[in-house]
Amino acid sequence: MKQLTVVSEDKVGLLSDITFILGKAKINIEALQVEVRGKTAIIHMTLKDVAKASRLLEQNGYKLLESEIILVSVKDEPAQTAEMTALLSKEKISITNAYVVASGDGMCTMALKVDKPSKAKKVLAAYIAEE
């Protein structure tokens, strides 16, 4: 699955502008993470149509990064994330970004960006969620 990241100067209304552009084009955001570092806003999104979203946002002057993420599901219980991430650590796979996409029915689905996605998919085969 692909993650689209917008890197922009932080300003009031930035997220509103981006979501307006996507909404007008009927592109639904499935997961969203926003952080501000100093004067820079970093917005991570998963969407159904990454190519169309990229085109529209670039046409509107936004700088974008596209990266592969892995969706994993763990039981929504103490230490489950620790067990799953320990498998990555044991194989020297670094997590560079992670966020919860959904939770409910006793499960938690997370998006993981890692430095070795192919290897991580093999290591986490039992945890891979349907995209």
State which of 49, 68, 87 marks the end of a domain: 68
**pLDDT number for residue 62:** 98
Read off the pTM.
0.85
Across the chain, what does the average pLDDT equal?
95
Residue 129 lies in a domain: no
Number of domains in the chain: 2
Whether residues 82 and 41 share a domain: the answer is no
Residue 130 lies in a domain: no
Residue 119 lies in a domain: yes
Whether residues 82 and 54 share a domain: the answer is no
- The string of pLDDT tens digits covering residues 67-123 is 999 999 999 999 999 999 999 999 999 999 999 999 999 999 999 999 999 999 999
Whether residues 77 and 111 share a domain: the answer is yes
Distance CA 113, CA 110 (A): 10
Residue 2 host element (H or E): strand 2-9
Please state whether beta strands 70-75 and 40-47 pair in parallel, antiparallel, or not at all (unpaired).
Answer: unpaired
What is the dihedral sign for C-alpha 65, 51, 15, 29?
negative
Residue 55 lies in a domain: yes
Give me 103's structure tokens. 């939770």
Distance CA 115, CA 105 (A): 30
Q: Which domain holds residue 99?
A: 70-123
Whether residues 89 and 31 share a domain: the answer is no
Comparing C-alpha atoms, which of 117, 122, 119, 123 is closest to residue 2? Answer: 117
**pLDDT number for residue 48:** 86
**pLDDT number for residue 39:** 97
Whether residues 52 and 92 share a domain: the answer is no
Residue 131 lies in a domain: no
Distance CA 124, CA 131 (A): 15
Banded model confidence at residue 131, pLDDT cuts 50, 70, 90: low
Whether residues 102 and 114 share a domain: the answer is yes
